[in-house]
Amino acid sequence: MASKTRSVDTRSHSRLVVDGLKQAPARAMLHAVGFSDGDFGKPQVGIASTWSNLTPCNMHIEELARLAAAGVEAHGAKAVTFGTITVSDGISMGTPGMRYSLVSREVIADSIETVVGAQGFDGVIAFGGCDKNMPGCLMALARLDRPAVFVYGGTIRPGANKSDIVSVFEAVGGRAQGTVSEQQLKFVERTAIPGPGSCAGMYTANTMASAIEALGMSLPNSSAQDAISSQKRDDCTRAGAAVVNLINLGLKPRQIMTRKAFENAITVVIALGGSTNAVLHLLAIASSAGVNLKLDDFTRLGKRVPVLADLRPSGRYSMSELVAIGGIQPLMKTLLDAGLLHGDCLTVTGTTLAQNLRSVKPYAAGQDIIRPLRDPIKKDSHLVVLYGNLAPQGAVAKITGKEGLRFRGRARVFNSEEASLQGILTGKVRAGDVVVIRYEGPKGGPGMREMLSPTGAIVGRGLGSQVALITDGRFSGGSHGFVVGHVSPEAAVGGPLALVKSGDEITIDAERREITLHVAAAEMKRRRNAWAAPKPYARRGALAKYSKSVSSASLGAVTDLE
């Protein structure tokens, strides 16, 4: 790590809270929670913990947060741990509760900002496990712009027969189809989730952890460690030392999270074959950091960055297997050497990305999890931004090439996720259909639910290569197949998706980056005149407030646009 090279006020925030005669009441309160007289002269570091025993992703984070706090205090600062929420996507998926998933990202960001701002912490360590924890933490760190490190809770190990949570969703479809027995379904249900950690493939949690490491906001290899491992424990202790070093340097998140750093994050997400949710979340984090990132930046970078990782859901391997061969650091070194990463970006080590990667060795010969640049899985990005008369403001597809690059079919329209799942499981959806799930966008859902239950059921019924699915909602990182989400503008605000009727012809063309509804303009005008906006799902509370303030998915679905 770099050392302190200039005079920095390491207590610029905490001194306003604890110094001087008038702050005696504050000191009295802090004595009660364990502060000694000597602690008031130290920089204060807030440890934002997303611990909860409601999900495997976060059930171990309490212990990790204690290790980080010990690391902080071993290096001369005072640690104060506080909690924020998590919700479980895997548990709420396919239910009304999933509406709160994306909402939780904003609640996490707001709550961390609120506590750190109120308490006057000089630095922050933020822990995330489940999907929305990570962008929520990064949004808060960008807003606060105080020395900070993000720590990922780590990946879960695969279950029996290399199963994971997606295996369970797909087994549900197989049970409906009759290809999976009740006994087989029960076995998968009981063995797919063996303990702590985030979902096992390159789904949203591992995607975002990798993106944050590439962004420079976590320590090298923090994204590629098993949740229960000595490496993850050491990562937490080192994060404590790192944040104190950042305080001494005066190095803040917005100096790290630059446009070049976001380009690095996008590049790594593409190379890993990561989740479409990365598009939504990186747009949101960039907004908080004051970086003007756009959907078209994903297209621009995607033209020159290949998919190299053979990871689930589209590939064969789990994150734990990538961990075993060295994580993402050798991949990043390969990308850097090829001129695909900006090596001059600063990171939370206090040094640049290129300096961090200087001594990284390549993957051992014989592994086939990460392909060489000369032999990619796909020569350009799997994240394809589509435009057309069905998505004037854009939509995001995940096209690995295994699904094909073009799909034309007849619309099978559903006005909710529940209705679509019922249609799939009862055989209403057939080969050649384009399943349309609408009124699930940021405002209309509200909360932009993930469509893992429908996509899992489609795959489970053996229709994965014969059916496309488009929605103004999102997809889980575990979804695969010919799927298009984030359709903007969404149906609830009168976007063209609201005007589609079952039987309409739709073309999705990944090569031309177009999504087209084959309906005459005059007919579309007639349908628009007859359309009425649906009633809001919620009139009071968190969902109602979110629906009123949230922006389009094409802008990251943020709630604090200027």
Average pLDDT over every residue of 20-46: 98
Residue 181's region, left for phi above 0, alpha for psi from -120 to 50, else beta, is beta
pLDDT, residue 72, reads: 98
Whether 85 shows a pLDDT value over 60: the answer reads: yes
DSSP string, 31-82: HHTT--GGGGGS-EEEEEE---TTSTTTTTHHHHHHHHHHHHHTTT-EEEEE
Percent of the chain past pLDDT 90, that is, above it, reads: 92
pLDDT, residue 348, reads: 98
- Assigned CATH for 41-157+195-357: 3.40.50.2300
DSSP string, 460-494: HTT-TTT-EEEESSB--TT--SEEEEEEES-GGGT
CA distances from residue 131 to 56, 70, 94 in whole angstroms, order as listed: 12, 26, 16
* Residues involved in catalysis: 476
Burial class (CB in 10 A: 0-12, 13-18, 19+), 83: middle
Whether 551 shows a pLDDT value over 60: the answer reads: yes
CA distances from residue 458 to 93, 275, 375 in whole angstroms, order as listed: 15, 19, 31
**Residue extents of the structural domains in the chain:** 41-157+195-357, 158-194, 383-555
Average pLDDT over every residue of 316-343: 98
pLDDT band at 6 (very low <50, low <70, confident <90, very high): low
Whether 514 shows a pLDDT value over 80: the answer reads: yes
Mean pLDDT, all residues of the chain: 96
428 Cα distance to chain centroid: 32
Please tell me whether the peptide bond between 446 and the residue prior to it is cis, using omega within 30 degrees of 0.
yes
- Assigned CATH for 383-555: 3.50.30.80
Residues whose CB is less than 8 angstroms from the CB of residue 214 and which lie 6 or more positions away in sequence, other chains included:
261, 264, 265, 267, 268, 269, 328, 332, 341
Going by the DSSP 8-state scheme, the letter that residue 346 receives in this structure is B
Whether 5 shows a pLDDT value over 70: the answer reads: no
pLDDT, residue 277, reads: 95
pLDDT, residue 469, reads: 95
Whether 223 shows a pLDDT value over 90: the answer reads: yes
Residue type, 105: R
Tokens of 162: 């290399």
Tens digit of pLDDT for each residue in 116-175? 999 999 999 999 999 999 999 999 999 999 999 999 999 999 999 999 998 998 898 899
pLDDT, residue 562, reads: 85
Residues whose CB is less than 8 angstroms from the CB of residue 547 and which lie 6 or more positions away in sequence, other chains included:
442, 443, 444, 446, 536, 537, 538
Tokens of 6: 């200039």
DSSP string, 205-249: HHHHHHHHHHHTSS-TTTTSSBSSSHHHHHHHHHHHHHHHHHHHH
Q: Which among 452, 109, 132 has a CA at the least distance from the CA of 287?
A: 109
CA distance 444 to 437: 12
**Which has the higher per-residue pLDDT, 273 or 173?**
273
Tens digit of pLDDT for each residue in 398-433? 888 777 789 999 999 999 999 999 999 999 999 999
Tens digit of pLDDT for each residue in 101-112? 999 999 999 999
Q: 410-438 b/e with 16+ CB inside 10 Å = b?
A: ebbbbbbbbebbebbbeeebeeebbbbbb
Please, are residues 456 and 172 in contact by the beta-carbon 8 Å criterion? yes
pLDDT, residue 3, reads: 46
CA distance 145 to 227: 28
Maximum Cα–Cα distance for the chain, whole Å?
Answer: 76
Burial class (CB in 10 A: 0-12, 13-18, 19+), 460: buried
pLDDT, residue 227, reads: 98
- Which of 253-262, 458-467, 472-481 comes out lowest in average pLDDT? 472-481
Directed axis angle between helix 61-73 and helix 230-249, to 10°? 40
pLDDT, residue 441, reads: 98
Q: What is the number of helices (H) and of strands (E) in the chain?
A: 21, 12
CA distance 536 to 104: 19
Q: Sheet harboring 123-128: ordered strands across?
A: 78-83, 44-49, 123-128, 148-152
